[in-house]
Amino acid sequence: MQQRGVTVWFTGLSGAGKTTITRAVEEKLRSQGCKIEILDGDIIRENLTKGLGFSKEDRDENIRRIGFVSQLLTRNGVIVLVSAISPYRAIREEVRQKIGNFVEVFVNAPLNVCEERDVKGLYKKARTGEIKNFTGVSDPYEPPTNPEVECRTDLETRDESVDKVFRTLQELGYLPTNSLAEIA
């Protein structure tokens, strides 16, 4: 079976576990010989969208640019794993419509759990006003209303979350039927 391109969009608050799950999914897909590309929000901001700030308009533009690159890769048969907070529902939906082959993964953990996991100290800086427009504190996060996958990282293990993503990719025809048996 030839690999079908798809964008798997991991969205959630800072500290919810997007990067952790994305890296684990990448590892399993690579072990099967899949063509993978990761677009991590932090890395994209350092390179592709460096001049953008954190206003709603700049955040939307950031997501559009990530979506554009995702669309190019997806249409060329690559599985694209996007790990980006992407706080606004409307822009995620806009990107979904443009890409077509799109799986939204809501990496969900309560704000207090994300704050406890905050190794960079970003929430603390946001709470003291040092960081403005911080998602979940002084700027809204609009959770997906109907994601293909929801990973509750406060209630399930990393492997359980990864298995949910894999099962969904298999059910939607992006991975061969025997994929889960081979990786188990």
Of these residues, 86, 138, 161, 179, which one is catalytic? 86
Q: What is the mean pLDDT of residues 159-173?
A: 94
Summary mean pLDDT of the chain: 90
Q: What is the mean pLDDT of residues 104-117?
A: 95
What pTM was estimated for this model as a whole? 0.91
Can 86 be counted among the known catalytic residues?
Answer: yes
Residue 181: pLDDT above 50?
no
Lowest mean pLDDT among 47-61, 80-94, 135-149, 167-181: 167-181
* Residue 182 included in any domain: no
The pLDDT value given to residue 53: 80
Cβ neighbours for 127, distance < 8 A, ≥ 6 positions apart: 137
> What CATH number has the domain bearing residue 78?
3.40.50.300
The pLDDT value given to residue 177: 65
Range of the domain at 40: 6-174
User: Which pLDDT band holds residue 55 (cuts at 50, 70, 90)?
Assistant: confident
Cα R_g (the chain), whole angstroms: 16
Tokens of 146: 């109907």
Q: Tell me how many domains the chain contains.
A: 1
Among left, alpha and beta (phi > 0; psi -120 to 50; other), residue 106 is: beta
Q: Return the DSSP state at 55.
A: S
* Residue 179 included in any domain: no
Q: What is the mean pLDDT of residues 77-85?
A: 96
